[in-house]
């Protein structure tokens, strides 16, 4: 596909990085700054055009008339929207815009069609949704949803005293009586897509696919403390905090936001009448203790400074057993951050890029399936993809044990007419099923790509 990415900031760079892994796209990047363009051109196999996305000449030089998709992710909502409008009028490509201003979010659906927008994404709103999902089930480090919310992949660490310690994957269903599937294991610096004879060990980080109704039972039998979030303290009163507070208030969770800017506190009081707003410096340990961090069941650090968020979560870990959520912006420090005990880390830029790449893949003309959902899991070393099986799919109606499925892939779930099936060898994928596949391979665009 011919793809234009307008905006070479952190989000644009992440999108280019993920698309280049697939090695099947012609990508052109556009920016008004020379250095970011040169950085991407030198690091990836892409073309660069210097100029503004709001200039027809610039977009023409970038190949807008032959483009399939244009992605506008500059720092300005207005430039993103105008770029998409010009691209739509001058070419036949589908357009995606990053729009962060909540005020636009309320009206964007009214003129989405007029602007020719195929997709609008708000990083703060998307990040808040992910955080709220993780707070619903605090025992998990990360949660990704599939099959329209009927099934989830939950990541957690096996405690020393868990029955899962020294248990083979094949024995879990029989011994615990829970129909779940271990679809990924992280052990020290290695990542595994485990088969039945794989033995789990204490301190492994494992990703388990489970239907919603099975999750709580499985965690209880596995010896994982469930807990329940009744209240939360949020440090930082930005837009992510606003979206998150509204979601948590709707769930009956008491929310307290600590914000150091007095004017912003006044705005928050109007926006969030059900939330307690504290005008104070949330990075002050004494202030956090005074506000009850020791007794809170969850703590979320959402300042705009990564170092502050990291230190806040590290301090919170010493005084509370509550669920920790840490927002991280600078993607380049992933390797260091993953070694720290920061609870669940959230990177809005990663979430944005992942959603956009999912859309791009879904628009490919796949022979036997369409991608409906995509999540990066196992610290980014694997993907969990949800495909819809078409009638002409070569894999339809064939038992899984008769398919030559790659060792780097695992068919983790079949969703058929509202029913969740944790598949065994004799099960088969059928037309109109949605199927969750976990794979360490890159660039999987069709269900047939998992076959050797």
What single string gives the DSSP state of each residue in 196-254? TTPBP-TT-EEEEEEEHHHHHHHHHHTT-------EEEEE--SHHHHHHHHHHHHTT-E
State the Cα–Cα distance between residues 176 and 282, nearest whole angstrom.
43
325 neighbors 241 (Cβ within 8 angstroms):
no
* Phi-psi map region of 250: left, alpha, beta (phi>0 left; psi -120 to 50 alpha): alpha
DSSP state of 422: -
* Phi-psi map region of 445: left, alpha, beta (phi>0 left; psi -120 to 50 alpha): alpha
Output the six-digit token pair for 341. 């005990």
User: Please, which residues bridge with residue 327 across strands?
Assistant: 346
The β-bridge relationship of strands 382-389 and 369-377 is antiparallel
- 411-443: b or e for each residue (b if 16 or more CB lie within 10 Å)? bbbbbbeeebbbbeeeebbbeebbbbbbbbeeb
Q: DSSP 3-state assignment of 19? A: helix
122 neighbors 351 (Cβ within 8 angstroms):
no
Domain with CATH 3.30.70.1450 in the chain: 355-450
Instruction: Tell me the CA end-to-end span of the chain in Å, nearest whole number.
Output: 24
User: Please, which residues bridge with residue 98 across strands?
Assistant: 121
CATH number 3.20.20.80 is the correct assignment for the domain at 2-121: no
- As a whole number of angstroms, the longest Cα–Cα distance in the chain is 66
The count of C-alpha atoms lying within 13 angstroms of the C-alpha of 329, restricted to the half-sphere facing its C-beta, is 14
Q: Which CATH number is 355-450 given?
A: 3.30.70.1450
State the Cα–Cα distance between residues 119 and 71, nearest whole angstrom.
9
236 neighbors 247 (Cβ within 8 angstroms):
no
- 66-81: b or e for each residue (b if 16 or more CB lie within 10 Å)? ebbbbbbbbebbebbb
Output the six-digit token pair for 236. 């930082």
Domain with CATH 3.40.50.720 in the chain: 2-121, 127-131+228-351
262-271 vs 239-250: helix crossing angle, rounded to 10: 30
CA nearest to 148, candidates 362, 357, 373, 384: 373
Residue 225: per-residue pLDDT:
81
The DSSP annotation for 300-361 comes to EE--S-HHHHHHHHHHHHHH--SEEEEE---GGGHHHHTTS--SEEE-HHHHHHHHHHHHHH
Please give the C-alpha separations between residue 246 and each of 49, 124, 240, 271, 365, in angstroms, as whole numbers. Answer: 41, 13, 10, 9, 39
User: What is the distance of C-alpha 433 from the center of its chain?
Assistant: 23
**pLDDT per residue as tens, the chain (452 positions):** 899 999 999 899 999 998 998 777 999 999 999 999 999 999 999 999 999 999 999 999 999 999 999 999 999 999 999 999 999 988 889 999 999 887 776 677 776 777 778 889 999 999 999 999 899 888 888 899 998 889 999 999 999 999 999 999 999 999 999 989 999 999 988 899 998 899 999 999 999 999 988 888 999 999 888 778 999 999 999 999 999 999 999 999 999 999 999 999 999 999 999 999 999 999 999 999 999 999 999 999 999 999 999 999 999 999 999 999 999 987 556 667 777 778 888 998 888 988 898 888 777 655 556 788 888 888 888 989 999 998 888 999 999 999 999 989 999 999 999 899 999 889 999 999 999 999 998 778 888 889 98
13 neighbors 74 (Cβ within 8 angstroms):
no
Output the six-digit token pair for 200. 């789990």
Output the six-digit token pair for 144. 């990704």
State the Cα–Cα distance between residues 232 and 37, nearest whole angstrom.
41
What's the CATH fold of domain 127-131+228-351? Rossmann fold (3.40.50)
Q: In what order do the strands lie in the sheet with 117-121?
A: 47-50, 26-31, 2-6, 69-72, 94-98, 117-121
Residue linked to tokens 């099934």: 151
Predicted TM-score (pTM) of the model is: 0.83
439 neighbors 409 (Cβ within 8 angstroms):
yes
Residue 335: per-residue pLDDT:
67
91 neighbors 33 (Cβ within 8 angstroms):
no
């Amino acid at each position: 596909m011919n793809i234009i990415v307008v905006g070479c900031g952190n989000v644009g760079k992440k999108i280019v990085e993920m698309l280049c892994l697939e090695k099947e796209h012609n990508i052109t990047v556009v920016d008004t700054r020379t250095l970011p363009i040169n950085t991407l051109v030198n690091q990836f196999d892409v073309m660069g055009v210097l100029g503004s996305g709001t200039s027809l000449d610039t977009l023409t030089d970038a190949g807008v008339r032959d483009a399939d998709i244009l992605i506008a992710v500059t720092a300005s909502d207005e430039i993103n929207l105008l770029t998409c409008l010009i691209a739509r009028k001058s070419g036949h490509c589908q357009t995606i815009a990053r729009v962060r201003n909540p005020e636009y979010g309320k009206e964007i659906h009214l003129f989405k069609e007029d602007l020719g927008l195929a997709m609008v994404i708000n990083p703060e709103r998307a990040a808040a949704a992910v955080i709220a999902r993780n707070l619903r089930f605090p025992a998990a480090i990360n949660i990704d949803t599939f099959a329209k919310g009927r099934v989830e992949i939950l990541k957690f660490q096996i405690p020393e005293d868990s029955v899962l310690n020294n248990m083979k994957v094949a024995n879990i269903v029989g011994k615990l009586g829970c129909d779940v599937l271990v679809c990924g294991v992280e052990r020290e610096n290695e990542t595994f897509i485990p088969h039945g004879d794989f033995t789990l060990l204490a301190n492994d980080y494992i990703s388990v696919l489970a239907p919603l109704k099975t999750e709580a039972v499985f965690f209880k039998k596995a010896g994982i403390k469930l807990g329940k979030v009744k209240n939360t303290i949020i440090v930082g009163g930005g837009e992510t905090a606003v979206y998150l507070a509204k979601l948590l208030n709707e769930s009956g969770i008491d929310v307290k936001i600590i914000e150091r800017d007095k004017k912003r506190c006044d705005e928050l009081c109007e926006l969030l009448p059900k939330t307690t707003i504290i005008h104070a410096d949330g990075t002050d340990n004494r202030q956090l203790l005074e506000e009850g961090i020791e007794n809170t069941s969850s703590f979320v650090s959402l300042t705009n400074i990564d170092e502050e968020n990291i230190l806040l979560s590290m301090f919170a870990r010493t005084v509370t057993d509550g669920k920790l959520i840490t927002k991280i912006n600078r993607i380049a420090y992933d390797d260091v951050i993953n070694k720290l005990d920061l609870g669940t880390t959230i990177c809005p830029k990663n979430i944005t890029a992942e959603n956009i790449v999912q859309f791009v893949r879904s628009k490919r003309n796949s022979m036997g399936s369409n991608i409906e959902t995509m999540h990066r899991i196992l610290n980014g070393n694997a993907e969990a993809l949800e495909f819809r099986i078409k009638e002409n799919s070569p894999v339809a109606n064939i038992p899984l044990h008769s398919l030559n499925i790659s060792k780097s892939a695992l068919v983790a779930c079949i969703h058929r007419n509202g029913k969740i099936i944790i598949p065994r060898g004799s099960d088969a994928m059928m037309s109109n099923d949605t199927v969750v596949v976990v794979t360490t391979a890159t660039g999987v665009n069709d269900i047939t790509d998992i076959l050797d």
